[in-house]
């Protein structure tokens, strides 16, 4: 659009939304740092982990403070991660993109909430390999609820999206355990897909599945070729730990049809039963009976960031993608017309 055609109130709204995005991003940095550790996101005030210097209001101005301090603590000069200004800037820019895509509408509100949830989920999964329930489960409720504001049809599409997304990933998780005898994906992924299905309706699910697996596979293969591993290491994972393979989890499923030597149709018949009621295998334990932390292998990638990226692409670029992609792919990504 020609910038001169954008009416003044919209420009003002855009500036306001960008600043709001920077501030929300600043809060999301707190969420990313504290939620995985189980700490409160409200209190206490942020401190430097090195020297304990308590940040004042002028150390907390999004983007500006980090630039003024040149990425160093005012108290001790310890470097502050560039993740802080990056998250703030990304939130601001994505808020702007959302305004451009939807204009002033309920879809804008829903989009802003989705972005606010996807950013911390992405960074937490990259660092800790978890998708906290405290973000995904309220996210499912918010996604379906905000669709409900837009009418009965949108509510139905969102509820179906959340349910189908959850069940499809639950099925894949189950098949991973029974056929491959290993964890094919993180247990939190199905809640993230349910959240995306709630916000973006069931029509987006095929596109999300396609975009996330395709992009994840391409980048994963490139990373293995370049660095020798597909995903980041888990936090605190040392080089010594890297050498030893993660212990095989003990399966505790006692279902009759999982026993070896049964005909394939008996196993298949058990799938729908097991899908909902299959017990989750126990955490692997060491000799002392302590739970052993799962260590990501060289070819493991956290799938959450790829699901989040696919969700953002469909949210912000959906109509554009259906125009530039070949017709078959466009139908997949754009969903059912």
Nearest distance, CB of residue 56 and Zn ion, angstroms: 13
Closest CB 247 distance from Zn ion, rounded Å: 39
Q: What share of the chain is helix, strand, coil (3-state, %, to 5)?
A: 65, 0, 35
Question: Binding to Zn ion by residue 80, rule CB under 5 A?
Answer: no
Least distance to Zn ion from the beta carbon of 73, Å?
A: 3
The distance of closest approach from Cβ of residue 37 to Zn ion in the complex, given in angstroms and rounded to an integer, is 19
Q: Do residues 169 and 189 lie in contact, with contact meaning Cβ atoms separated by under 8 Å?
A: yes
Q: How far is the CB of 83 from Zn ion (least distance, A)?
A: 17
Query: Using CA atoms, how far apart are residues 169 and 160, in angstroms rounded to an integer?
Result: 14
CB 29 within 8 A of CB 119: no
Smallest gap, in angstroms, from Cβ of residue 81 to Zn ion? 13
Give the Cα separation of 183 and 281 in Å (integer): 10
Contact predicate 69/60, CB 8 Å: no
Is 312 a residue that touches Zn ion (CB under 5 A)?
A: no
Phi, psi at 74, each rounded to 5°: -65, -30
Of residues 17, 31, 32, 73, which one binds Zn ion by CB under 5 A? 73
Between 77 and 138, name the residue whose CB sits nearer to Zn ion: 77
- Binding residues for Zn ion, how many (CB under 5 A)? 8
Q: Choose which of 12, 68, 69, 76 interacts with Zn ion (CB under 5 A).
A: 76
The count of other CB atoms within 10 Å of the CB of residue 234 is 17
Compare residues 45 and 50 and give the one whose CB is closer to Zn ion.
Answer: 50
Binding to Zn ion (CB under 5 A): which residues in 42-71?
48, 50-51, 53
Q: Of the ranges 4-12, 40-48, 101-109, 112-120, which one interacts with Zn ion (CB under 5 A)?
A: 40-48
DSSP summary character for residue 45: -
- Toward Zn ion, which CB reaches closer, 48 or 211? 48
Identify which range of 73-81, 106-114, 163-171, 211-219 contacts Zn ion by CB under 5 A: 73-81
CB of 68 to Zn ion, least distance (A): 15
Say how far apart CA 241 and CA 226 lie, in whole Å.
21
User: Min. distance of Cβ 51 from Zn ion in angstroms?
Assistant: 3
Q: CA angle at residue 127 from 124 to 133, to 5 degrees? A: 30
Structure tokens at 142: 């918010």
Strand partners, 79: 72
- Distance of closest approach, residue 65 Cβ to Zn ion, in angstroms: 14
How many angstroms from the chain centroid is the CA of residue 47?
Answer: 27
Phi and psi angles of residue 72, each rounded to the nearest 5 degrees, phi first: -130, 150
Contact region with Zn ion (CB under 5 A), list: 74-82, 96-104, 212-220, 280-288: 74-82
Binding mask 211-230 for Zn ion (x = CB under 5 A): --------------------
Regarding 268 and contact with Zn ion (CB under 5 A), the answer is no
Q: Single out the residue of 185, 167, 168 nearest to residue 176, CA to CA.
A: 185
CB-based burial label for 187 (10 Å; 0-12, 13-18, 19+) = middle
- Residues 80/94, Cβ–Cβ less than 8 Å: no
Q: What are phi and psi of 322, to 5 degrees?
A: -70, -20
- Report the largest interatomic distance among the alpha carbons of the chain, rounded to a whole angstrom: 73
The answer to whether 257 contacts Zn ion (rule: CB under 5 A) is no
Which CB atom, from 73 or from 144, has the smaller least distance to Zn ion?
73
Taking CB under 5 A as the binding criterion, the range among 27-35, 36-44, 77-85, 291-299 that sits at the site for Zn ion is 77-85
- Chain residues binding Zn ion by CB under 5 A are 48, 50-51, 53, 73, 75-76, 78
């Amino acid at each position: 659009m020609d910038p001169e055609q954008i009416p003044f109130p919209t420009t003002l709204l855009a500036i306001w939304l960008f600043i709001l995005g920077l501030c929300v991003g600043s809060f999301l940095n707190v969420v990313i740092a504290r939620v995985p550790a189980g700490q409160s996101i409200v209190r206490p005030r942020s401190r430097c982990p090195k020297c304990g210097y308590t940040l004042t209001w002028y150390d907390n101005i999004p983007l500006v403070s980090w630039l003024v301090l040149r990425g160093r603590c005012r108290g001790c000069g310890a470097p502050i991660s560039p993740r802080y200004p990056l998250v703030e800037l990304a939130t601001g820019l994505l808020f702007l993109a959302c305004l451009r895509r939807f204009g002033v509408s309920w879809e804008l509100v829903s989009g802003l909430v989705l972005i606010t949830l996807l950013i911390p989920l992405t960074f937490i999964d990259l660092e800790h390999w978890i998708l906290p329930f405290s973000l995904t489960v309220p996210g499912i409720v918010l996604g379906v609820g905000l669709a409900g504001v837009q009418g009965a049809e949108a509510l139905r599409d969102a509820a179906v999206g959340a349910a189908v997304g959850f069940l499809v990933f639950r099925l894949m998780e189950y098949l991973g355990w029974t056929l491959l005898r290993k964890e094919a994906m993180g247990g939190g992924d199905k809640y993230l897909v349910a959240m995306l299905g709630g916000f973006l309706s069931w029509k987006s699910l095929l596109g999300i599945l396609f975009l996330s697996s395709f992009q994840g596979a391409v980048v994963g293969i490139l990373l293995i070729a370049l660095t020798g591993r597909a995903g980041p290491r888990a936090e605190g994972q040392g080089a010594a730990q890297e050498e030893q393979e993660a212990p095989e989890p003990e399966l505790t499923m006692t279902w009759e049809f999982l026993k070896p030597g049964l005909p394939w149709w008996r196993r298949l018949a058990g799938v729908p039963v097991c899908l909902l009621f299959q017990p989750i295998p126990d955490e692997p334990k060491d000799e002392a009976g302590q739970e052993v932390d799962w260590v990501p292998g060289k070819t493991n990638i956290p799938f959450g960031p790829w699901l989040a990226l696919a969700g953002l692409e469909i949210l912000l670029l959906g109509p554009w993608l259906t125009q530039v992609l070949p017709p078959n792919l466009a139908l997949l990504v754009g969903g059912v017309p």
